[in-house]
Amino acid sequence: MPASSPARWLLGTTAGLLVWASSFVVLYAGLTLGCEAGWHAHRLYGINLLTGALALAWLLHLLALAALWWWFGPWTGALRHMARVLTAAAAAATLWTGWPLLALPPCAGPMLASTMEDPTCSKT
Amino acid sequence: MTHPVALHRRLQQVWHNPAGWRSLSAVNHNIVGRRFIATALLFFFVGGMLAMLIRAQLATPQSAFLDDALYAQVFTMHGTIMMFLFAIPLIEGFAIYLLPKMLGARDLAYPRLGAFGYWCYLLGGLILLGALAAGLAPDGGWFMYTPLSNATHTPGVNADVWLLGITFVEISAVAAAVEIIVTILTMRAPGMRLVDMPLFAWYMLVTAGMMLVGFPPLILGSLILELERAAGWPFFDAARGGDPLLWQHLFWLFGHPEVYIIFLPAAGIVSTLIPTFAQRPLVGRNWVLASVVAMAFISFGLWVHHMFTVGIPHLALVFFSAASMLVAIPTAVQLFAWIATLWHGRPKLALPLLWLLGFLVVFVCGGLTGVMLALVPFNWQAHDTHFVVAHLHYVLVGGFLFPFLAGVYYWFPHLFGRQTLPRLGSWAFWLIFLGFNTTFFVMHLTGLLGMPRRVGSYVTGLGWDLPNLVSSLGSFVMAIGFFLLLIDLIVSAYLGRIAPQNPWRASTLEWAMPTPPAFYNFASQPRVPGPEPLWTEPNLGARAAAGEGLLADAGVDEQRSLGCDPVSGEPTHVVRLPRPSWLPLAAALAVGSVFMGLLTKAYWLAPPAALLALVLFWRWAWSIGLRQDPAPVETGAGLRLPVHDVVERAPGRAGLLWTLVANGSFFVSLLFGHAYLATVAPGWPPPHWLRAGLVTPLAGAVALALACGATRYAVWANARGDVRGRQLALLAALIAALSATLLLPAGVLPGMPSPREHAYGAMLGFCLAYAVLHTALGAVFVAYALARGQAGYLSAQRSVELHNARLWWDYTAATGAVLLLAMHVPAWGR
């Protein structure tokens, strides 16, 4: 890919934030689906299975952002600056929006509509 | 070199636009942009009058001024008009009018598409206004929440008017977004690098990208809600496997980015005006650009903060709460950059700057209450109270209206060649500023005292009487201010002093031309010397007018503008632009007839109107193109460039690509809706599953693959000069496309449960309709390429139609395969 190609610009300005968006969607959708599937009722090595799975997905996204930061290193000019700033911003955003999963039980709160017919199915 | 006067005279002839009623055929961006701006301002005054009715009603307790039903129509139409018929079209109008000038181009990439978008907007708006005049206006709130908006709770056409009228207007917005992106990326002046683009263009590029991704979820939501109302398909009916919350998700997937879609262009105006008034470049330009991109992305992660009270696990609420607070940071980066620019410059207080200072005050207050509402516990308390109404008006009026009014005053001399009256505008500003804060600051307190929104009457003794009266008095002060502003603009347009060229000593290219501008903007397209061209080279406009730039050839009887490399801005080709045409108006009327047929339940009207629209679009596309390979064009300074028909960056190819981005957003929203209902909605699994064998769906998949493969082969054969192979491949692709159009429904319809029985059947029906629509349109694409090949419009060099057919089929085959899996796999073994 030539240094000044439009594809490189598109990648540099969006890749980091797309990883953040992926992390956000995976955490939100994973939480919903995990609560539906009852993953939160199981434990693995003393860790809530759903929390562990979400934390793993979160960590993988952070690693992907670290890899992007490293990959943008040799780039030059204004694009390098913008790509690295946006990757750093995406990493900070991923950390900030994801950390609550380590602090809260995953399915606490109002039950999902689809489980309301079954009073024995607790989501907390 | 041609004498400058002769050059201008010749360009006037080439770029001539008819006058009188024939001007309805105009497609030039100067005319279309002005029409958008004027129409949007007209709708603003209609929306403002509705706001006055609301405040008159709420001024006193138990007021009998409006009854409940009328009040519901009034507040629904106020929100709808301000969001869909004022804010977005005003942005489009500014972008359409200004962008070619700021970029050093002569017109937009698709002048006819811009005109088509305007007519769609006007017709959609007239449908809504007509309904209001007839007492049939939407009355379910601008958010149309289900189940309130379903056919049981809102019978009649009121909700249909909203759903169909707004979808019609959104077609206009998506069309404008495609036009803006392609113009910004490929039609800049020579040497204008991507990083050096005017800031307003950067903001509009990001905003247009957001529109492509953000609007389709609402278009999907509107279509399936209309299907539920008209045909009984229960997407949102909890008793039949639907879920009202799916509507909220789809609405706010659009609705929250919409706030930033409205704010970012306004911020682009701020970032353009503040350096002008400070007479220095924007502080931290690259940081601002990065913050705009970050804001665009993060704004898509906030939608659930409108749904904090609907019953979602706490952890999910905290994800969205965190994202909602996070978006304040890139906003703050821009705010500090603006303040620092003013601080380091030598600002002179002119009327546009006064509006910008008002913006800074009001928007910061709105931003802070936004952070308050991002906090879940506070949100639960303030939800659906007047606190939220006050907050959103601080954000939208402060963050959008004030900067755009600054823009109106700033570019007024450009539009009319005259200056505004010095005193009247200041009076208008202060009345609006004071009236606004009186109205809405007090409204925060009304909300904190517990007054719910969307309620037209309240009893006395709850502490709401006085704050409501104060808000109403403030709103009438504001209304007087807007009345003065209107007088100021009208009088100044006729009686204002003649404005000098570049009256604000700005740095951007739109001021490098006489005002009001000629239809072709620049007599020749100048080379741009950096991000502040007129500060670097003050006589650049004079040199362009003298024909010292590119494309100054007076002997050409064709409207032309330069095309460029998206990153470096170096010219790569010449774009041939269309002249005035009736096709945009006719096509908009045909599409409007489809919507009117659906709205009035005259369903017989919709198919012939859709067919007419298809014929008109075919005619539209047919009128472009060449039957011979064109020679490169001499552009001046010894530079010869190919015309757009033979280059990869032809506007037609780029346009389809970006349209498919919007289509992809629609498709992902559809998959989300399907998955959401299947996993979260009550009443699942459905009573009956799809019963289909393996053979027909597989045959459908093979037909999709064959159509895609044959189209690709046609492109390959064409590049090798094999005309017969190309035409045969296209014929094979057409047969495969028609087969897929028949096989896909044949594999689903016989064993499909009734779409009225359960949301599962409704989703199957909609997914099938999406796939079949795409294969049918794919057949049209291939048939069109075949006909063009037969008529001599295709060659190894001229291949836009072929590439578009290939691109469409790549998309259709990929999405078709996903839909086949989504429809058939869950039903296997049931």
**What pLDDT, in 10s, does the model give residues A80-92?**
999 999 999 999 9
Chain A interface includes B313 (CB < 8 A):
yes
**A84 vs B contacts (CB less than 8 Å):** none
For B808, the token pair is 């469409």
CB B71 within 8 A of CB B58: no
User: Between the CA of residue B471 and those of B34, B51, B400, B468, B827, what are the distances in Å?
Assistant: 34, 12, 21, 5, 58
Chain A nearest CA to B375, separation (Å): 13
Per-residue pLDDT of B477-530, as tens digits, reads 999 999 999 999 999 999 999 999 999 999 999 999 999 999 999 999 999 999
CB atoms within 10 A of CB B163: 25
Residue B602: φ, ψ to 5°: -90, 70
Judge contact between B726 and B789, C-beta under 8 A: yes
Residue B830 pLDDT level (bands cut at 50, 70, 90): confident
> Is-contact B236 B150, C-beta < 8 A?
yes
Distance from C-alpha of B154 to C-alpha of B147, rounded to nearest angstrom: 9
The answer to whether B568 contacts chain A (CB < 8 Å) is: yes
pLDDT value at residue B637: 82
* Three-state secondary structure of B82-148: HHHHHHHHHHHHHHHHHHHHHHCCCCCCCHHHHHHHHHHHHHHHHHHHHHHHCCCCCCCCCCCCCCC
Inter-residue contact A106 to A48 (CB < 8 Å): yes
To the nearest whole Å, the CA of B284 is away from the closest chain A CA by 12
pLDDT digits (tens, 9 = 90+) for B439-464: 999 999 999 999 999 999 999 999 99
Q: Do A32 and B194 touch (CB under 8 A)?
A: no
Q: State whether B680 and A105 contact (CB < 8 Å).
A: no
Using an 8 Å CB-CB cutoff, list chain B residues near A17. 293-294, 297-298
What pTM, to 2 d.p., does this model score? 0.95
Residue B556 pLDDT level (bands cut at 50, 70, 90)? confident
Residue B315 with chain A: CB contacts under 8 Å:
31, 100-101, 104-109
Contacts of A96 in chain B (CB under 8 A): 322, 326
Query: Which pLDDT tens digit goes with each residue over B342-380?
Result: 999 999 899 999 999 999 999 999 999 999 999 999 999
Pick from A86, A110, A111: which is nearest to B294 by CB? A86
Q: Give the pLDDT confidence score for residue B481 in this predicted structure.
A: 97
Which pLDDT does position B648 carry in this prediction?
86
Say how many residues make up chain A: 124
Q: Is the pLDDT of residue B583 over 80?
A: yes
Mean model confidence pLDDT for chain B? 94
* B680 with A107: Cβ contact below 8 A: no
Nearest CA in chain A to B304: A28
Interface contact flag, A85 B316, Cβ < 8 Å: no
Contact check, Cβ <8 Å, B289/A82? yes
Q: What is the dihedral of CA B808, B813, B817, B819, to 10 degrees?
A: 30
Helix%, strand%, coil% for chain B, nearest 5: 70, 5, 25
Given this model, what pLDDT does residue A44 score?
Answer: 87
What pLDDT sits at residue A1? 59
Task: Give the pLDDT confidence score for residue A2 in this predicted structure.
Answer: 61
Secondary structure letter of residue B640 according to DSSP: E
Strands A47-48 and B559-564: unpaired
Adjacent-strand bridge partners of B574: B562, B643
Contact B316 A32 (CB under 8 A): yes
CA dist B323 and A88 (Å) reads 16
- What is the reported pLDDT for A110? 63
Domain spans in chain A, listed from the N-terminal domain onward: 9-102
Nearest Cα residue in chain A from B324: A97
H helix or E strand, kind and range, residue B461: none
The pLDDT value given to residue B693 = 85
SS3 B54: helix
Summarize the confidence of residues B179-195 as an average pLDDT: 95
The closest alpha carbon to B590, from B613, B569, B573, B572, belongs to B613
For B394-412, what is the mean pLDDT? 96
Question: Does B681 contact A at CB distance below 8 Å?
Answer: yes
Q: Residue B813: what residue type?
A: A
B446 within 8 A of B466, measured Cβ to Cβ: no
Find out whether A80 and B195 touch, Cβ atoms under 8 Å: no
pLDDT at A114 over 90: no
CB B362, CB B437: distance < 8 Å: yes
Collapsed DSSP state (helix, strand, coil) of residue B576? strand
Q: How many C-beta atoms lie closer than 10 Å to residue B792's C-beta?
A: 13
Query: Which pLDDT does position A123 carry in this prediction?
Result: 38
B563 to chain A, minimum CA–CA distance in Å? 15
* B211-237 mean pLDDT: 96
DSSP code of residue B573:
E
Min Cα distance A30 → chain B (Å) is 10
The residues, ordered by sequence, that sit 6+ positions from B457 with a Cβ below 8 Å of its Cβ are B57, B61, B62, B63, B68, B71
- What are B737-769's pLDDT values in tens digits? 999 999 999 999 999 999 999 999 999 999 999
pLDDT over threshold 50, residue A22: yes
Per residue in B670-724, pLDDT (tens digit) is 999 999 999 989 899 999 999 988 899 999 999 999 999 999 999 999 999 999 9
Select from A104, A106, A116 the Cβ nearest to the Cβ of B682.
A116
Q: How far is CA B344 from CA A52, B270, B707, in A?
A: 51, 16, 62
Domains along chain B?
A: 685-827 (1.20.120.80)
Nearest CA in chain B to A98: B319
Q: Is B176 exposed, middle or buried (0-12, 13-18, 19+ CB in 10 A)?
A: buried
pLDDT confidence of residue B6? 87
pLDDT of residue B744: 96
Q: What confidence score (pLDDT) does residue B370 get?
A: 94
* Optimal mutation site among A33, A84, A99, A104, interface B, most CBs of chain B within 10 A: A104
* Helix pair B244-278, B199-231: axis angle to 10 deg: 160
CA pair distance B138, B124, nearest whole angstrom: 13
Cα–Cα distance between B13 and B358 in angstroms, integer? 44
Q: In Å, what is the CA distance from B334 to each residue of A80, B193, B293?
A: 21, 22, 12
**What is the Cα–Cα distance from B602 to B624, expressed in whole angstroms?**
35
Q: Does B288 touch chain A (CB under 8 A)?
A: no
